[in-house]
Amino acid sequence: MPKHIPLLCAAAFALAALLAAPAYSADAVPTDQDKVAAARAVKLSEQLRCLVCQNQTIAESNAELAVDLRRQVKEQIAAGRSDAEIVDFMTARYGDFVLYNPPFKAITALLWLGPALLLVVSALVLTAVVRRRRNPAAEPELTPEQRARAAKLLAGGDGGSAR
For helices 83-94 and 35-45, angle between their N-to-C axes, nearest 10 degrees: 40
Please give the CATH architecture assigned to the domain spanning 27-98. Orthogonal Bundle (1.10)
On whether the CB atoms of residues 102 and 96 are closer than 8 A, the answer is yes
CA-CA distance, 27 to 20, in Å (whole number)?
Answer: 14
CB-based burial, 132-158: b 16+ in 10 Å, e otherwise = eeeeeeeeeeeeeeeeebeeeeeeeee
Model pTM greater than 0.75? no
**pLDDT tens string 114-153:** 889 999 999 999 999 888 887 766 667 889 999 999 999 9
**pLDDT tens string 33-70:** 678 888 999 999 999 998 888 788 999 988 999 999 99
**pLDDT tens string 65-124:** 999 999 999 999 999 999 999 999 999 998 888 888 888 888 878 878 888 999 999 999
Q: Where are the domains of the chain?
A: 27-98
